[in-house]
Chains A and B, each alone.
Chain A
Amino acid sequence: DIVMTQSPDSLAVSLGERATINCKSSQSVLYSSNNKNYLAWYQQRPGQPPKLLIFWASTRESGVPDRFTGSGSGTDFSLTISSLQAEDVAFYYCQQYYTTPLTFGGGTKVEIK
């Protein structure tokens, strides 16, 4: 199984400041035949199901604010929130879909400082 490791486990950021979450896969999730990274990001607010934010490592889902940016390739990825808003308080998970079983990172809790 591909192991997804997120860091940090939690971070507290002031409103309007930048938050960056890292995700590392135990093997590359870059598929050479199409040059796509099989990596997605989700947001889970308290008491809610997860919500898709980013897929193919950097493609923003429709309706997701442009302050959310995904980057990286191969085994190292990041999700950046450029200007943290109160509604961004949540857990964030990365997920690989290069192979089954689909696997998620352990999650990062984002709070307001």
Chain B
Amino acid sequence: EVQLLESGGGLIQPGESLRLSCAASGFTFSSYVMNWVRQAPGKGLEWVSGISSSGAGAFYRDSVKGRFTISRDNSKNMLYLQMNSLRADDTAVYYCAKDRAWEVLPHFLDYWGQGILVTVSS
């Protein structure tokens, strides 16, 4: 059974940093593209970032480029999102999501974690 468990969320002040983690199990983690998707309170889904199966390729939405860094440790089956210079509009539930693709580019997302809330507020 595929399981994705996010951790590291919480209340943080604007301008500060936070690292989200996602522990994956139940599939060959190193074979698949992985993604982070967020959902602001009462709003729709917004893709944040994706990373190739090897970790060599990383992709971001414009609003987080230069502030967020996605990474993975295939030896530990872990996905990470380092978030710096956080802003109020980064407040959202962040989902770790497995991609169906085993190539470089993100495609569609076949398994999702339960999500972790990040609140950026003073």
Residue of A nearest to B63 (CB): A101
Contacts of B82 in A (CB 8 A): none
Residue of A nearest to B114 (CB): A49
Interface residues of B in 83-122 (CB under 8 A from A): 95, 100, 105-110, 112-115
* CA of A38 to CA of B100, assembled, Å: 13
Residue of A nearest to B101 (CB): A97
* CA of A50 to CA of B112, assembled, Å: 7
Chain B interface size, as a band, is: 20 to 34
* CA of A52 to CA of B95, assembled, Å: 14
Chain A interface size, as a band, is: 20 to 34
* CA of A39 to CA of B46, assembled, Å: 15
Residue of A nearest to B60 (CB): A101
- List 8 other contacts, CB 8 Å, given A49-B115, A50-B109, A52-B110: A42-B109, A49-B112, A50-B37, A97-B106, A97-B108, A101-B59, A102-B35, A104-B47
